[in-house]
Amino acid sequence: MSFSILKQIGDAQKKKKVVDVRSGDTVKVTQKIKEGDKFRLQMFEGVVIRVDRKESHTARIVVRKVTSGVGVEKSFLIHSPLVEKIEITKRSKVRRNNLSYLRARSGKSARLSSKDFDRAAVNDVKVEEVPAEEAPVEKEEQNEEAPKAEAPADEAEKPAEEAKPAEA
């Protein structure tokens, strides 16, 4: 019984929109950082060397990059409110989940073979579909079509009005 309560609390903390991140992906993670009373956004770009607990509210990725010859790893909780956005820039072919062997490598031996992928489709976040939300979407599409039909009529009237003062 307590497990179901914990699961409900955990599911309430999950983000509804999440990008499918895998090991070997090169990602740009945009994170909120608080300095005093203000927040700023900071980007961290690197290779995902590990993905943990993908379906859980505690899902985590470990991103590694080399800066000034020093390897830097940072761990991000995917569902954290401080993680603004995760964008996949490159997808590589890997055969394991934990790429810790990249820590010991540098230069050409640290390269991963890239794989073709549709960047726009991958970075579109998945939204959990609810049947109740489908009906309002169709109504919005109908409402969008109505102003489009009116817009050309307005444009047709404007040139005629502009032409009259020019003749006088």
| Residues 80-90 pLDDT 10s | 889 988 998 98
pLDDT-derived band at 137 (thresholds 50, 70, 90) equals: very low
Name the residue range of residue 144's domain: 129-168
pLDDT-derived band at 115 (thresholds 50, 70, 90) equals: confident
Name the residue among 4, 1, 42, 46 with its Cα closest to residue 23: 46
Q: CATH number of the domain at 18, please.
A: 2.30.30.790
pLDDT number for residue 119:
76
pLDDT number for residue 47:
92
Residue 71 has pLDDT above 60, yes or no: yes
pLDDT number for residue 7:
81
pLDDT number for residue 136:
47
Whether residue 55 is found in the same domain as residue 65: yes
| Residues 29-57 pLDDT 10s | 999 999 999 999 999 999 999 999 888 88
DSSP codes of every residue in 127-139: E---HHHHHHHHH
Whether residue 105 is found in the same domain as residue 81: yes
Whether residue 111 is found in the same domain as residue 158: no
Q: How many independent structural domains does the chain possess?
A: 2
pLDDT number for residue 126:
57
Whether residue 104 is found in the same domain as residue 115: yes
Whether residue 6 is found in the same domain as residue 77: yes
pLDDT number for residue 127:
54
pLDDT > 70: what percent of the chain? 73
Q: How far apart, in whole angstroms, are the C-alpha atoms of residue 46 and residue 38?
A: 26
